[in-house]
Each structure stands twice: as C-alpha cells, then as structure tokens.
Amino acid sequence: MPKAGIKGQTYYNSGTRTTPVWNRARLLRDFTLPISTNEIPVKNKGSQWIKYLRGLLDVAIDAEADWEPGNPLFEALKTSFFTESIVEIAILDGGIKQAGAQGVRAGFIVTKFERGEPLEDVMTLNFSLRLAAEHTHEPEWVTAGTNGTLTVVAAFQENPANNP
C-alpha cells in the first residue's frame, strides 16, 4: 500500500548505542533516503555486452530543515559539523512505536551545514549526512516494535563473508 511522505519519520539518538533514546526530528522539511551501490563494469572478449557487478553500498543524504537554533536536533547537527562527532539516525517509513515500520539505522557525520534565507519563507538549514568512518557499527536495516525498540532484520545483518 502506498504511503504519504509525511508518514515517514526520522529520529536521532540522544542516548547511547546500547541504550538509545530516540527523539523525533520534527524540524525536517524534505528528507530523502538514497541507498545505492557502485556499478563495476565487466568487459571481456567472450561477450559483446557490458555486464555489471554490484560494488559498495552508499547512503548520502542531503536534507532540509527549519533553521531553529536551540532545537536539540539542530544543535546535534551543528555540533557534528564543527566537531566531527557522530549523530545516530533512524530513518523509518512510520513511527518508531508502529510495529513493522522499517528503515535504516546508522551513524553519520554532517559534511554540510548551510543556512538558506529565502525572501518569502523561513530560514532553512540545508545539511548533508555521510556515513561516519569512525562509527563502530555498520548501517542496519531495522523494523520497529510497539515499544519503540528497533530490531535488525536478520537477512540484512552484517555478514563477515562479505568483508574477508
């Protein structure tokens, strides 16, 4: 069943990895979760076709929010940009207490923190999130339970065979 974009919800963790405190990111305007892979072309004399292998996964988020100094998410994004600290985010297709809502949980750094000043609209924060190299956990595809816990979908757990 199709879902309206407003049903998607994003949360940031103000707790720890093992004891997360998920806070809804209400100041967001537009948010897209682009997950992609590199394409590795395979060319040889045995075929006239270029074939492909899948390369590394990537998630590179560019988003927009209201410019709200003092808002905890705004301050977390600002701190991450200036100090390279990690912001853990959960990007779900529903609420965190909506059983079956799913999406990505990962640690990011902010690589762009830009203020927009449109003449006839509120000031905006345009920011970019990139996976944090220093985060100790790989990104995870998760589902939500009715109690607000996130569970890693077994089929998407990290496989050591993929990284020998």
What distance in Å separates the CA atoms of residue 73 and residue 2, rounded to the nearest whole number?
A: 28
User: Which burial class, exposed, middle or buried, applies to 92 when counting CB atoms under 10 A from its CB (0-12, 13-18, 19+)?
Assistant: buried
What distance in Å separates the CA atoms of residue 121 and residue 83, rounded to the nearest whole number?
A: 30
**CB neighbour list of residue 24: distance below 8 Å, 6 or more residues apart:** 9, 10, 11, 96
Q: What does the pLDDT look like over 23-49, one tens digit per residue?
A: 999 889 888 888 889 999 999 988 999
Q: What does the pLDDT look like over 93-144, one tens digit per residue?
A: 999 999 999 999 999 999 999 999 999 999 999 999 999 999 888 899 999 9
DSSP notation for 57-91? EEEEEEEEEE--TT-HHHHHHHHHHHH---EEEEE
Q: Which fold has domain 5-157?
A: Pnp Oxidase; Chain A (2.30.110)
Beta-bridge mates of residue 96: none
pLDDT at 4: 81
Residue 73 has pLDDT above 90, yes or no: yes
User: What band does 158 get if pLDDT is binned at 50, 70 and 90?
Assistant: low
Q: What does the pLDDT look like over 11-23, one tens digit per residue?
A: 999 999 999 999 9
